[in-house]
Structure 1
Amino acid sequence: MSTTHEELPVGVPGGIPVSTLRDLIDRHLHMPFPFRRNPHESVAAAGVDAWLRTWGLTDEPGVAAMISRTRPAELASCTSPAVDSGLLQIVANQIAYQFVFDDRAEEIGRNSPGGLLPMLCEGIAILRDGRPPRTLLGAALADLHRQVRERCTPAQAARWAWQSREYVHGLLYEAVAQSQPYLLRTRDCTAIRSLTAGVEPFYPLYEAAQPREPAPAELHHPVVRRLSRLSADAAVWTADLFSAVKEQQAGEMINLALAHQREHQCSLQAAVLLAIQEINATIEEFQKLHAEIEPDLSPAGAGYVQGMIGWIQGCYQWSRTVPRYADVTTVPAVP
């Protein structure tokens, strides 16, 4: 592992100055997809608040304030601009649930990875075996699973449950990594991040958004599967750029920019530029593969891939302004 790294020049083509770390990200990140928002966002925001209250989650300490800072309906709107109001509500509820689940897992796992087992095992039992919940958080998950089954085909709901279980398992990997004395290599961090991102569980919902179900040959085509992986990585790594300041202050490790900073022993600004290079290459590969396969996709398959594109541009749009990551504007562009 490299222990030193020559600082990358901080600036932009043409010498246009940038003042904050957010400006630096905006100048260098390649984002070719247009920004869109769902017209049903305000309805989804009210629905999320009501759903969280129904299951008693906003009665728990800190949850209401966290939801206010993260704006799950806004993220749903940015990532899912074309879905109908009913499906947008499921997306927004799922995002809110994952924020609550992730923050709680982080709090418990930081002290003891083993302490996560009851929480994670409950989630797996609900998703895999249909067992009744034991906690308020479990009850919310069971209701979310019900919403998905009612909207999706059995095959789509099964894919949703499988991807959601992958996300649950990823949180245990993250807790173990956080508790270890050694520093994770960047490739190990990205492997864990691909699980904890929680992006791919949403993709079966974009299957359900199509007038006709995409053919299995399209869903399982190697290029489409690669597009799924690339889009999830690009989306969550982009969020990592804006959350790096917050997560550095909290001592978190599973963040692409912070992984580059540890591995290369460089400034946060230089690490962000390294992460951006990786993200840009990922987006460019996505564009190339998408252009190759798009002529062969059915309308349903094309719509499904558009759902992946929504997460790439939506995470960027949301991350730039969400209060949860506001600290990115307090760090100068030049170290």
Structure 2
Amino acid sequence: MSTTHEERAAVAQDVIPGSTLVELIDAHLYMPFPFRRHPQEAAAAAGVDHWLRTTGLSDEPGVAAMISRTRPAELASFNSPDADPGILQLVAHQIAYQFVFDDRAEEVGRHRPGQLLPMLCESIAVLRDGAPPSTPLGAALSDLYRQIRERCTPAQAARWSWKSREYVHGLLYEAVAQAHPTPPRSGLCTSVRSLTAGVEPFHPLCEAAQPCELTSGELHHPVMRRLSRLSADAAVWIPDLFSAVKEQRSGEMINLALAYQRAHHCSLPAAVTLAIQQINRTIREFERLYAEIEPELSPSGVGYVEGMAGWIRGCYYWSRTVPRYADAAAPALP
């Protein structure tokens, strides 16, 4: 995350006075993946609303308003434009659940991380041991896991469970970082962000959308593992750009752009521009490695990587217009 004085000076010249963060991001972000959306998006949105009512989550305070601001089916549509309707609905359910879970964890753990333990332990028990849930949030996770097992192969479901447990643990790390009196250094910030991204649990669904399971050689190839990491990082760092104003106002620490601002004592637009440079390097490495390994992949392997690329594309186009990040459309402060 270090940059030279010359690089920071060049960034300052790139910041257009009076521009919005959206305009700044659009001007500098490298996005080689074109906009696409699923034709069944509206049906997926209706399915999310029905599922939230069925599980009781929509009765929880603030959930209905939050879902309206975040549009999980829209994000699923942009990420998975070619998926069959069943996979699209699963992705939309999981996005909705993770938004509820993430917001609840932030609310509960902001000042006292220990208060998160009952919520996180329930999730781990459901995912690891198949334990019966005791809260509406746990019941929703249990039902989501049931849907995953019905649609995915046992190996894919096991990978989903493992990645989901990693995400749950990451939220405790985030709460500890938020509660600490000293903001985390840049390296720690990006490490925690990679855990809380919540993108890698969707990669088994990218695989489930393919005609066949990936071979062990494909799935565990070092290049494929690197592609998975790059996809998750780029996909979560892009929303960090658009959410920077909102998270700065609320005192959030785990955000790529805000980490640059703390590290370099610069304006938010300059920090966003520095973060964009890191994202652009990540996306270009993803492209390069994909081109390198593509000739070796089966059709299912190619589709799997395309699914990971879809998360990069989808998070960008979704973040540009979702009401959750409307502050990014306001003029950026100098």
Same fold per superposition (TM over 0.5): yes
Name the SS of the counterpart of 2:110 in structure 1: helix
Paired with 2:18 and 2:30, the residues of 1 have a C-alpha distance of 16
CA shift at 1:2, angstroms?
8.1
Name the SS of the counterpart of 2:213 in structure 1: coil
Paired with 2:214 and 2:135, the residues of 1 have a C-alpha distance of 36
Deviation by residue 1:38-73 (Cα, 9 ceiling, x = unmatched): 111100000000000111111111110000000000
Q: In the alignment, what sits opposite 1:317?
A: 317
Larger mean CA deviation between 176-185 and 43-52 belongs to 176-185
1:48-127 equivalent positions in 2, closer than 5 A: 48-127=48-127
Q: In the alignment, what sits opposite 1:298?
A: 298
Q: Structure 1 counterpart of 2:112, which letter?
A: S
Instruction: Tell me, yes or no, if the aligned pair for 2:124 and 2:165 is still in contact at 8 Å.
Output: yes
Larger mean CA deviation between 205-214 and 157-166 belongs to 205-214
Paired with 1:17 and 1:184, the residues of 2 have a C-alpha distance of 30
Q: In the alignment, what sits opposite 1:145?
A: 145
Gaps in structure 1 of 5+ consecutive residues: none
Q: In the alignment, what sits opposite 2:35?
A: 35
Paired with 1:152 and 1:247, the residues of 2 have a C-alpha distance of 36
Q: In the alignment, what sits opposite 1:9?
A: 12
Q: Structure 1 counterpart of 2:12, which letter?
A: P
Q: Structure 2 counterpart of 1:91, which letter?
A: V
Instruction: Tell me, yes or no, if the aligned pair for 1:77 and 1:88 is still in contact at 8 Å.
Output: yes
CA shift at 1:312, angstroms?
0.4
Q: Structure 2 counterpart of 1:90, which letter?
A: L
Instruction: Tell me, yes or no, if the aligned pair for 1:210 and 1:303 is still in contact at 8 Å.
Output: yes
Paired with 2:116 and 2:92, the residues of 1 have a C-alpha distance of 25
Q: Percent identity?
A: 74
1:257/1:135 Cα in 2 relative to 1: closer, same or farther (>3 Å)?
Answer: same
TM-score, reference length from structure 2: 0.96
Paired with 1:18 and 1:204, the residues of 2 have a C-alpha distance of 43
Instruction: Tell me, yes or no, if the aligned pair for 2:18 and 2:331 is still in contact at 8 Å.
Output: no
Q: Structure 1 counterpart of 2:256, which letter?
A: L
Q: Structure 1 counterpart of 2:330, which letter?
A: T
How many aligned positions are there? Answer: 331
1:280/1:121 Cα in 2 relative to 1: closer, same or farther (>3 Å)?
Answer: same
1:216-295 equivalent positions in 2, closer than 5 A: 216-295=216-295
CA shift at 1:35, angstroms?
1.2
Q: In the alignment, what sits opposite 1:47?
A: 47
List, as ranges, runs of 4+ consecutive aligned residues in structure 1 with deviation greater than 4 Å: 1-7
CA shift at 1:19, angstroms?
2.2
Instruction: Tell me, yes or no, if the aligned pair for 2:38 and 2:78 is still in contact at 8 Å.
Output: yes
Paired with 1:82 and 1:3, the residues of 2 have a C-alpha distance of 39
Name the SS of the counterpart of 1:9 in structure 2: helix
